[in-house]
Amino acid sequence: MSMLTAVQPQLLSQINERSVLRLLQTNGPCSRAEMTRQIGATAPTVSKAVASLLRSGLLEEFDAAETGRGRPARRLRLATKTAQVLGLVIDAGTCRIVSACLDGRLHATSGITFRTPDSYDKLLSQVCDYAAALRERAGVRTLGMGICMPGLIDSRTQKGLLSPNLPLTDGHSPGIDLSERLGLQTVLVHECQGLCLAERHFGDAAETDNFVILDATVGLGLGAFSGGRMQVGSGGYAGEIGHIPVVPDGLECGCGRRGCLETMASDSVFSRLLSQRLNRPCAVEDIVEQARAGEIDISEELDSVIPYLSTAVTMAINLFNPERLYVCSKLFDLGDHVLARLIEQTEARALRPSFNDCRITRARGSKPEGAVAAIIEHLTMSRVHGNEQLT
């Protein structure tokens, strides 16, 4: 009984803070008076929540004269000038680190892309160097860093367990290690979960509680939001559609098995096939450019990759019955015909009612946006659940 009375005021103020954050996230900047009206709380309650959020650095105050006319009133917004977050994408081949406002907008000039180092220690020290460079903005507090990476990540220990395309993270917890080295709150999510958050925050998935993202860039993975919740499974390993075997005695996969779907359908597979035929290394970005200019014929490789990509889309549609399915692939840069073919082949294979329920489009959110969305969600949600950290 006494515990209940002690907990309640704290819980209430956390809920009020969350209401303020949600209002600013959905409606943009507003004054305390507008907040009071919109939230339906009393003015002192709103002022108290705002004061606490201002102290935390998540909000900042600015003069309304900047944006509107009439009597200047102090308005509030998610911090854009006084605080920032960092987003890190660890991937096979290249990594990228960015900084962003608390509303999720990436700073225009901030991104640093670097080749993925060949050891975990080098990865940590390079990230620390680049993070230090991004934290040098005068008067700007850095509140945390979101990290996206591929592979199986144990959601209980935050440890990378098995990464077919990036084995150097196996057995390591980059979220915990970087948090210690940088003295920042961090949150580590699977890259497909990051893409779901990006689509929800920056794409058009905010409108739906049932959507799936298929990432067919480096490997082949899936992120799913079902009934408004991210589906991560019991240990956090859900979504590894790329490691379902589809070709008996097929090619060896990074996971150690053979004939996985991932060995047949992704941007990497597309470059591998073309590199083999032309007998020279072909990066997917270069291929797209040359194909658009009519310099190379890539129909053979498209004929090989699209049916398998359609298999993945069909699996996702039949399994999850999503309202929207977003696909990430640089192959769509070749023109609208690539997505059209993918949809046409999927229509011929998926269960009719499930296919009819689902709109298939190109993903709009990116992995850096996903990393940023993950840390913003962590920082704002941790104000509801107390300040416990995932890392």
Q: Are 375 and 187 in contact (CB under 8 A)?
A: yes
Measured from the CB of residue 277, what is the shortest distance to Zn ion in angstroms?
24
Q: Which is nearer to Zn ion, 75 or 243 (CB)?
A: 243
CA 298 → CA 111, 144, 270, 282, 331, distances in Å? 32, 43, 9, 12, 11
Measured from the CB of residue 247, what is the shortest distance to Zn ion in angstroms?
11
100: its two tokens = 């962003």
Measured from the CB of residue 262, what is the shortest distance to Zn ion in angstroms?
5
Q: Which is nearer to Zn ion, 17 or 267 (CB)?
A: 267
Question: One symbol per residue from 192 to 221: x for binding Zn ion (CB under 5 A), - otherwise; what is it?
Answer: ------------------------------
Measured from the CB of residue 353, what is the shortest distance to Zn ion in angstroms?
31
User: Could you tell me how many residues of this chain bind Zn ion (CB under 5 A)?
Assistant: 5
Position 260 contacts Zn ion (CB under 5 A): yes
Q: Which is nearer to Zn ion, 164 or 368 (CB)?
A: 164
Measured from the CB of residue 194, what is the shortest distance to Zn ion in angstroms?
21
Question: One symbol per residue from 68 to 87: x for binding Zn ion (CB under 5 A), - otherwise; what is it?
Answer: --------------------
For the chain, helix, strand, coil in percent to 5 are: 45, 20, 35
Measured from the CB of residue 39, what is the shortest distance to Zn ion in angstroms?
49
Angle at alpha carbon of residue 386, lines to 380 and 391, rounded to 5°:
75
Q: Which stretch binds Zn ion (CB under 5 A): 260-268, 272-280, 330-338, 382-390?
A: 260-268
Q: Which is nearer to Zn ion, 257 or 330 (CB)?
A: 257
Q: Which is nearer to Zn ion, 250 or 307 (CB)?
A: 250
Backbone φ, ψ for residue 222 (5° rounding): -135, 140
Q: Which is nearer to Zn ion, 60 or 91 (CB)?
A: 91
Q: Are 261 and 308 in contact (CB under 8 A)?
A: yes
Q: Are 99 and 80 in contact (CB under 8 A)?
A: no
Question: One symbol per residue from 319 to 358: x for binding Zn ion (CB under 5 A), - otherwise; what is it?
Answer: ----------------------------------------
Measured from the CB of residue 219, what is the shortest distance to Zn ion in angstroms?
9
Position 162 contacts Zn ion (CB under 5 A): no
156: its two tokens = 């209980």
91: its two tokens = 């991937």
Q: Are 370 and 194 in contact (CB under 8 A)?
A: yes
Q: Which is nearer to Zn ion, 270 or 332 (CB)?
A: 270
Q: Which is nearer to Zn ion, 98 or 255 (CB)?
A: 255
Q: Which is nearer to Zn ion, 253 or 302 (CB)?
A: 253
For residue 70, give the amino acid letter. G
Measured from the CB of residue 253, what is the shortest distance to Zn ion in angstroms?
3
Name which of residues 222 to 241 contact Zn ion (CB under 5 A). Answer: none
Name which of residues 362 to 381 contact Zn ion (CB under 5 A). Answer: none
- Rounded CA-CA distance 33/42 in Å is 10
- The b/e string for 163-194 (b: 16+ C-beta within 10 A; e otherwise) is bbbbebbeebbbbbbbbeebebbbbbbbbbbb
Measured from the CB of residue 246, what is the shortest distance to Zn ion in angstroms?
10
Strands (E), the chain: 30-31, 59-63, 74-78, 83-89, 94-100, 112-115, 141-149, 152-154, 159-162, 185-190, 211-215, 221-226, 229-230, 324-328, 359-362
Name which of residues 240 to 259 contact Zn ion (CB under 5 A). Answer: 243, 253, 255, 257
Secondary structure letter of residue 236 according to DSSP: S
Q: Are 151 and 162 in contact (CB under 8 A)?
A: yes
Give the residues lining the site for Zn ion (CB under 5 A): 243, 253, 255, 257, 260
